[in-house]
Amino acid sequence: MVTFVILVFVVGYLAIALEHPIKINKTASALLTGVICWTLYAVFSGNSIELIGEQLNHHLGQISAILFFLMGAMTIVELVDAYQGFKIITDRINTKDPKKLLWIICIVTFFLSAILDNLTTSIVMVSLIRKLVPNKQMRLFFAGMIVISANAGGAWSPIGDVTTTMLWMGVRFHQGTL
């Protein structure tokens, strides 16, 4: 069973990575891969239906929590953008030099992710560079650097790394002290 699940996962991962050449949406590939893996596990694991149901509920609950968090963060960013909240920041950045702009964006991202979580910071900063960097290839490079800076800043601060925060809350919750 484990071999089949790993094989399905690898094929699904390849389908996601090769989305454009095979012309299958990566969301469809990911959902199908997950369904097949869970089905194989349910059929061949030998565990009770109740245990499999509990495990599935647990994992779906974690995925749902992340999705709800993302929807909330993206809604806030879009509201700030709709009311031109980023204009305050973009008006203060006067440089047209891509190297200076990259350093400014990365430093702001690093310290912002120490206050916020990495994901929200990345969403905010990518929305910001959409206004500052017109070239799509350059924006993709900036986005990659934003993700690296956000993760570095989040790891630098215990309150900025959502993974650390969620792990801490999970431990505290399971200990009954939260």
The domain segmentation of the chain, as residue ranges, is 2-46, 68-175
> In which band, very low, low, confident or very high, does the pLDDT at 9 lie, cut at 50, 70 and 90?
very high
- 162 pLDDT higher than 90: no
Q: What are phi and psi of 46, to 5 degrees?
A: 85, 0
Q: How far is CA 4 from CA 10, 35, 43, 95, 155, in A?
A: 10, 13, 12, 54, 36
The dihedral formed by the CA atoms of 136, 139, 141 and 144, expressed in degrees to the nearest 10: -130
61, amino acid identity: G
How many residues would you count in the chain? 178
Please state, for a pLDDT cut of 70, what percent of the chain lies above it: 88
Distance from C-alpha of 49 to C-alpha of 169, rounded to nearest angstrom = 29
What confidence score (pLDDT) does residue 157 get?
A: 72
**Tokens representing 19?**
């989305």
SS3 at position 139: helix
Among 34-48, 61-75, 131-145, whose mean pLDDT is lowest? 61-75
What pTM was computed for the model? Answer: 0.60
- pLDDT bin (cut points 50, 70, 90) of residue 93 is confident
pLDDT of residue 127: 87
Tokens, residue 11:
């094929």
